[in-house]
Amino acid sequence: MSLPLELQTLRSRVGLVESRHLEVFRVEGVRAFEAVDAAFPQRVFLQDAQVTQTLLLADDATIVADVQVARDDEAFFLLCEVRPGLEAEALVRAHLGTDQVTVQPLAPTHAVWSVHGPWAWEFLGEAVGQEIIGQPYLSLQHVAGLTCFRGGKTGEFGYDLLIPHAEVEPTLARLREAGRHYELGPLSLEALDRAALENWFFSVRFEGLWPWSPIELQLQWRLWHHKHAYRGAAAIARKQAEGPRQRLTVLSAEAPMAVHAPVVLDRERIGEVLLSAPGSAGRGHLAWAMLDTPVAVAGLQVQVGEVSARTVSPPTMQNESLGIDPNKHSFRYGRRPQ
């Protein structure tokens, strides 16, 4: 399926993808909490079944992994997306250490399949279990022999299913059978990353962001200012003390904006384009640019090469999921939101 058709599926119906890019680890042991809490810059004092979004950093505070930490009783799941070319298990073990904890990679025993779209909740409620319909954002639950994590970085409803290998084919059969009533379609990793770009979700696969820290990337909400011992903390502290000189900002234009093109305001260079893509359904073009902090605000008319652009507040589109109430609406029975 072409990328525009995948995005249409993602934005209006339900899409299914095998999430090989998502590597899952289970951390157990008498000091599991202490090990996990020390590894990450975010606070991980979680209630059972709660999930938080955080990062793994290099010593210079650049991002090497995008991680969701999920508490499961006294153990933790780590859902990791690592920078291409790096090895997830090695990163996890290096940051956690191994004293009094067990780090178990789940790829040998489980697969991850993900469901995204404005009707994903109803579809999974029918195919897997009604419990999923009411599952809160950033939580996990065990249902029908699977572990379901609700998260997603597309702006639509999103669920990651951790499935034992022996249950993969029966589960996919159930999903595809129920999917006949939801116009279920395949998705690719490229479609997920494009949707993330449109909705201001960080992806560790965005190569243009690799040289930057969470401070410039506006990801400080994934840090906790009381923590000072994780890898990269010293570099973060220096950047916070100095204040960010540049900050990631979204641009919108009617024509394509080239990556690495300078951004100019009143004939003065104020930054550079890092990422660029056409908007969904032919709605112009968008870019992420690193701009000087004093002008990293919405509403400015700027020049990107020969292209006139405007700085805007993300997200750049109105997601259909925002207008859907599971208590009122249904794709399955033909009652779509008006």
Domain ranges of the chain: 3-193, 245-322
What whole-number percentage of the chain has pLDDT above 70? Answer: 98
Instruction: Over range 290-302, report the average pLDDT.
Output: 97
pLDDT digits (tens, 9 = 90+) for 24-80: 999 999 999 999 999 999 999 999 999 999 999 999 999 999 999 999 999 999 999
Instruction: Over range 310-316, report the average pLDDT.
Output: 91
Q: Which of 173-177, 207-211, 228-232 has the lowest mean pLDDT?
A: 228-232
Q: Which of 13-22, 94-103, 143-152, 158-167 has the lowest mean pLDDT?
A: 94-103
- Residue 139 pLDDT > 60: yes
pLDDT digits (tens, 9 = 90+) for 262-292: 999 999 999 999 999 998 766 789 999 999 9
Q: What is the pLDDT at residue 333?
A: 83
Selected residue with higher pLDDT from 212 and 229: 212
Q: What is the CATH number of domain 3-193?
A: 3.30.1360.120
- Average pLDDT, whole number, for the chain? 94
Record the pTM: 0.95
CA angle centred on 24, ends 19 and 27, rounded to 5°:
170
Q: What is the pLDDT at residue 182?
A: 95
- Residue 129 pLDDT > 70: yes
Q: What is the pLDDT at residue 338?
A: 46
Asked whether the beta carbons of 63 and 119 are under 8 A apart, the reply is no
Q: What is the pLDDT at residue 336?
A: 58
> What's the CATH fold of domain 245-322?
Elongation Factor Tu (Ef-tu); domain 3 (2.40.30)
- Residue 16 pLDDT > 80: yes
Q: Which H, E and C letters describe 255-289, residue by residue?
A: CCCCCCCEEEECCEEEEEEEEEEECHHHCCEEEEE
